[in-house]
Amino acid sequence: MKRYNIIAAVMVVCILVFWETACRIFNIPDFILPVPSRIIQVAIRSAPILLPHAAVTALEIVLGIILALLIAVPLATFMFMHRSLERALSPFLVASQAIPVFALAPLLVIWLGYGIASKVLMAAIIIFFPITVSLLEGYKNCGHDYITLFVLMGSDFRKTWRLLYWPWALPFFFAGLKVGVAVATIGAVIGEWVGAQRGLGYIMIQANARLAVDMVFAAILWLSAMGLGMWAGIGYLERRVIDWQK
Amino acid sequence: MLCVTNLKKYFNSLVVFDGFSLTVPRGSFTALVGPSGCGKSTFFDVLTGIVPKDGGDITWRGDAVPHLRGKAAYMQQKDLLLPWLSLIENALLPATIAGMTPYARAKARALFTRLGLSGFEEYIPGRVSGGMRQRCALVRTLMFEHELVLLDEPLSALDAITRRSLQSLLLLLQIEFGKTIVMITHDVEEALLLADEVLVLSRFPMSVRERYVPGTPKPRRGDDPELLRTKEQLFYGMEQEVVREAI
C-alpha cells in the first residue's frame, strides 16, 4: 500500500472514530446526526433500494459529461482558432457559471420535464466550463517553436490540431475533466431535488421528509463513492492516454 | 544557388540588418558566426517567412521567392521532438503532413540505421539521450526532401563528445545527401571544421565583417595548426568588436 493511501485511510478512520465517539458521548439522536456505523449499516442494508437510484444518477452524470464534452471541445477549439470569438464568448461563459444552478433547475425541469434530460443538461452546464477553460489554456500553452516547426512543414490547422495542439492540451483537458467530474454530482442531484421520481437526489429528499437522516447519509455515501469511482476512472484513462508524461 | 540581396529588417528603431547580402553556391556548406544578438536567428526567421522582411530579394535556384518556406528544411537548436510520438513517428512528421507514402517509412528506417538509431525507432523521446534526440531531429530534417538545409545552432545544447560525433553527421548531410547547408553557430571551431566558407558577422546592423575559406580538405582535424591559428584570429576579431561596443 502506498504512503499517500495509508495517510488517507488513517485520516478517514480518525474522522469516523471522532464522529462515532462524539455522537455517543453527547447522546446525539439519529434523526439529527446518526453515528457512522449506523450509516454504513443502512447503506449496505438498503443497497438493493439505493443502487437502482444510484445507477440513474450515474447515467445522468455520464450523459452530462458526454454532452459537456460535445460542447466544450469544439467550443474551446473554435475560441482558440478565432481569438475574436474568444473575446466575444468569454463573458457569456463566465455568466453561465455566475448564475446559481438552483435558479436554473426549476426552469430546466419546466422546459425539459421530470425525466432524465433536465438533470443531464444541469450536469453538463456545470461540467463544460472547467473543460472549456482548461482546454483553451492547453491550446494556448503550446510551444511557439513547435508551432513554427509545423508552419514550416506546411501543416494546415486540421493536421496541426491533430498532431500538435490536441496532444499538447491533453494534460490540461484531463485536469478540467477531473474538476468537472468532481462537481458533476451537484448538477444531477440538484435537478433530482427539484423534480424527479428516481435518483439519489430523489431518495435524499424523500428520506429528509421522513427525518430518516441515516438514509440521507447513506445516499450521500453512495454518491461520494460514485464520484470517487468516476474520478479514479478519469485518472486511469489519463494515465493510459498520456503515458508519455511518466 | 541561394542569393540574398540587400535584405532589410527593422524592429521599430532597431536596425537588425539593412542591405545584407549573401550568396551560397549549390552543394556548399556556409557557416555564419557572430556574437549573440547580431541578428543571425532573425535572418533565418526572415528567410523562412516566420518574420516578414522589410526589403530586399531572395532567389533560390534562379527563382525570386518571397521566402524559403516549403523550399528549405530548418533545424533549430532544440530538437523539438513531440514527446507523445515515437522517434520514427517524429522523423516521419514531414511525410505525415505531406501525406505519407510507404517509401517515406522505408527511407526513415534507412536513415535511422545510417545515423545509428536502429533499434530505437519505437522509443519515445523521453527515453533516449540528448544526442539521440538530436540525431532523430536530423533524420526529420532529411525527410523534408529539400535540397537547402538551414541549421540554427543545431549542436549547441549538446555535450562535447556527442557534439563531435554529430558534427560528422552534419558533414554527411552535405557530402552523402548533396544538401546545400547554411549553418548558424557560436562556435568558431565548429564552423572551421565543417564549412566551405565561414562568414564572421558583426552587429547593429548585421553585416559580413570577415569572410574565410578554409584551405584544407574535409574532414578536417581540430588540432590542425592552420585551423587553430585561424580560430584564434577570428575569435580575437570577434572579441575586439565586443570590447569596442562595450567601450
Would you give the distance in Å from CA A193 to the centre of its chain? 17
Chain B residues bordering chain A (beta-carbon distance below 8 Å) = 48, 50, 69-70, 74, 76, 78, 80, 82-84, 93-94, 96-98, 124, 126, 144
Residue B83 with chain A: CB contacts under 8 Å: 244-245
pLDDT at B213 over 70: yes
CB contact under 8 A, B80 and A242: no
**Cβ neighbours of residue A85 closer than 8 Å, sequence gap 6 or more:** A78, A79
Give the residue-averaged pLDDT of B63-71: 89
Same domain, A58 and A146: yes
CB contact under 8 A, A244 and B50: no
pLDDT at A112: 87
Same domain, A25 and A48: no
User: Hunting for cell 530548418 — which residue is that?
Assistant: B74
Residue B78 with chain A: CB contacts under 8 Å: 145
- Render pLDDT for B7-61 as a digit per residue (tens, 0 to 9): 999 998 888 889 999 999 999 999 999 888 888 889 999 998 889 999 999 999 9
Domains contained in chain A, number: 2
CA atoms lying within 13 Å on the CB side of residue A90: 11
Distance from CA of A79 to the nearest CA of B (A): 23
CB contact under 8 A, A167 and B84: yes
Annotate A220-229 with b (16+ C-beta within 10 A) or e (fewer): bbbbeebbee
Question: A153 or B6, which is more confident?
Answer: B6
Residue of chain B nearest A144, judged by CA positions:
B80
CB contact under 8 A, B84 and A242: yes
- Exposed / middle / buried, residue B112 (Cβ in 10 Å: 0-12, 13-18, 19+): buried
Residue A2 banded pLDDT, cuts 50, 70, 90: confident
pLDDT at A175: 94
Of B185, B195, B189, nearest to B227 by C-alpha is B189
Residue of chain B nearest A142, judged by CA positions:
B82
CA dihedral angle for residue A129, residue A135, residue A138, residue A140, rounded to 10 degrees: -80
- Cβ–Cβ contact A152 with B under 8 A: yes
Residue B148 with chain A: CB contacts under 8 Å: none
CB contact under 8 A, B124 and A244: yes
Give the residue-averaged pLDDT of A181-190: 86
Same domain, A25 and A83: no
Give the residue-averaged pLDDT of B50-76: 90
Here the ipTM equals: 0.81
CB contact under 8 A, A163 and B82: yes
Residue of chain A nearest B123, judged by CA positions:
A244
pLDDT at B157 over 80: no
Same domain, A78 and A104: yes
CB contact under 8 A, A244 and B83: yes
Residue A242 with chain B: CB contacts under 8 Å: 84
CA dihedral angle for residue A143, residue A147, residue A148, residue A152, rounded to 10 degrees: 150
Same domain, A125 and A237: yes
Of B214, B230, B204, B209, nearest to B18 by C-alpha is B204
pLDDT at B101: 77
Q: For residue A152, what is the domain's CATH number?
A: 1.10.3720.10
pLDDT at B63 over 80: yes
Would you give the distance in Å from CA A185 to the centre of its chain? 6
| Least confident span in A210-214, A241-245, B37-41 | A241-245
pLDDT at A174: 95
- Closest CB from A148, A154, A159 relative to B70: A154
Mapped onto helix, strand or coil, the DSSP state of residue B219 is coil
Residue A153 phi, psi (nearest 5): -80, 0
CB contact under 8 A, A153 and B84: no
Give the residue-averaged pLDDT of B125-131: 90
How far apart, in whole angstroms, are the C-alpha atoms of residue A16 and residue A214? 15
pLDDT at A185 over 80: yes
- Render pLDDT for A145-183 as a digit per residue (tens, 0 to 9): 899 889 888 889 999 999 999 999 999 999 999 999 888
- Render pLDDT for A35-80 as a digit per residue (tens, 0 to 9): 999 999 998 998 899 999 999 999 999 999 999 999 999 999 999 9
Same domain, A152 and A167: yes
pLDDT at A4: 83
User: If you average pLDDT over every residue of chain B, what do you get?
Assistant: 88
Residue A150 with chain B: CB contacts under 8 Å: 97
CB contact under 8 A, A245 and B83: yes
Tell me the count of A-B CB pairs closer than 8 A. 43
Best A141, A151, A152 member to test B by mutation, with max B CBs in 10 Å, is A152
The model carries a pTM of: 0.83
CB contact under 8 A, B96 and A163: yes
Question: DSSP assignment of chain A, as one string?
Answer: --HHHHHHHHHHHHHHHHHHHHHHHTT--TTT---HHHHHHHHHHTHHHHHHHHHHHHHHHHHHHHHHHHHHHHHHHHHHH-HHHHHHHHHHHHHHHHS-HHHHHHHHHHHH-SSHHHHHHHHHHHHHHHHHHHHHHHHHTS-HHHHHHHHHTT--HHHHIIIIIHHHHHHHHHHHHHHHHHHHHHHHHHHHHHS-SSSHHHHHHHHHHTT-HHHHHHHHHHHHHHHHHHHHHHHHHHHHHTGGG-
Sequence ranges of the domains in chain B: 1-71+147-247, 74-145
Same domain, A128 and A73: yes
- Render pLDDT for B165-195 as a digit per residue (tens, 0 to 9): 788 888 888 888 889 999 999 889 899 999 9
Q: Does the domain made of B1-71+147-247 have the CATH classification 3.40.50.300?
A: yes
User: If you average pLDDT over every residue of chain A, what do you get?
Assistant: 90
CB contact under 8 A, A146 and B80: yes
Same domain, A71 and A131: yes
pLDDT at B69 over 90: no
A120 is in which domain, residue-wise? 38-245
- Closest CB from B76, B126, B144 relative to A244: B126
Q: What angle do CA A182, A183, A186 make, to 5 degrees?
A: 135
Same domain, A89 and A20: no
Same domain, A127 and A5: no
Which of A 159-188 lie inside 8 A of B, CB atoms?
159, 163-164, 167
How far apart, in whole angstroms, are the C-alpha atoms of residue A188 and residue B228? 76
Same domain, A9 and A101: no
Partnered with residue B17 across adjacent β-strands are: B9
Residue A167 with chain B: CB contacts under 8 Å: 82, 84
Of B202, B193, B187, nearest to B169 by C-alpha is B193
* SS3 track for B13-78: CEEEEEEEEEEECCCCEEEEECCCCCCHHHHHHHHCCCCCCCEEEEEECCEEECCCCCCEEEECCC
Best A146, A158, A168, A244 member to test B by mutation, with max B CBs in 10 Å, is A244
pLDDT at A246 over 80: no
- Cβ–Cβ contact A239 with B under 8 A: no
Q: Percent of chain B having pLDDT more than 70?
A: 100
